[in-house]
Chain A
Amino acid sequence: MGEGRQVVVREAILDGAGAIDRNMAECSRDERKDETLEQLVREHSALVYRIAYAVLRRHHDAEDATQETFVRVLRYSSKLGSVEDQKTWLARIAWRVAVDRSRQRSRKGEIPLQDPENPQPEPPSCDATADETLQAARLELRVEKLIAALPEKLRQPLILSTIEEMSPREIAATLGINEAAVRSRVFRARQILKEKLAQQTGRRQAEP
Chain B
Amino acid sequence: MTDQNHEKPHVEDSQNDELDRALDAALTKYSSVEPRAGLEARILANLRVQPTAPSHAWWRLGLAGALAAMVIVAMAVAWKLGRTTHSQLASHPTNTEQIRRPADQPEATASERLHGNTPTRATHRGGAIAVRRSAPRARAVAEADPRLDVFPSPRPLSEEELALARYVRNFPSDAKLVAQAQEASEREVLARMQALANESTESN
Q: Which A residues lie at the B interface, using CB under 8 A?
A: 30, 37-38, 41-42, 45-46, 49-50, 53-54, 59, 62-63, 66-67, 70-71, 74-76, 78, 136, 139-140, 142-144, 147, 158-159, 161-164, 190, 193-194, 197-198, 201
Contact = CB atoms under 8 A, between A and B. Distances in A.
Given A54-B31, A63-B36, A70 B23 contact: no
Main secondary structure of the interface of B (DSSP, over half): helix
A41 B31 contact: no
Nearest to B27: A162
21 contacts: A37-B47, A38-B44, A45-B35, A49-B33, A50-B31, A50-B32, A53-B31, A62-B35, A63-B36, A66-B35, A74-B47, A75-B55, A78-B53, A140-B30, A143-B23, A144-B26, A162-B31, A162-B32, A193-B23, A194-B16, A201-B19
Given A45-B43, A54-B30, A197-B23, 19 more contacts: A37-B47, A41-B44, A46-B34, A46-B39, A62-B35, A66-B35, A70-B47, A71-B50, A74-B50, A76-B55, A136-B26, A139-B26, A159-B31, A162-B30, A163-B31, A164-B31, A164-B32, A194-B16, A194-B20
B30 A147 contact: yes
Interface residues of B, number: 30
**Of listed B27, B32, B40, B54, residue having the most chain A CB within 10 A:** B27
B2 interface: no
B22 A67 contact: no
Interface in B43-58: 43-44, 46-47, 50, 52-55
B100 interface: no
A163 B33 CA distance: 9
B19 A67 contact: no
B125 interface: no
Interface of B: 15-16, 19-20, 22-23, 25-36, 39-40, 42-44, 46-47, 50, 52-55
A67 B33 contact: no
Contacts of B35: 45-46, 49, 59, 62-63, 66
B26 A140 contact: yes
Contacts of B26: 136, 139-140, 142-144
A148 B53 CA distance: 39
Contacts of B39: 45-46, 49, 63, 66
A143 B43 CA distance: 32
A64 to B, nearest CB: 10
A144 B29 CA distance: 10
A198 to B, nearest CB: 6
B46 A67 contact: yes
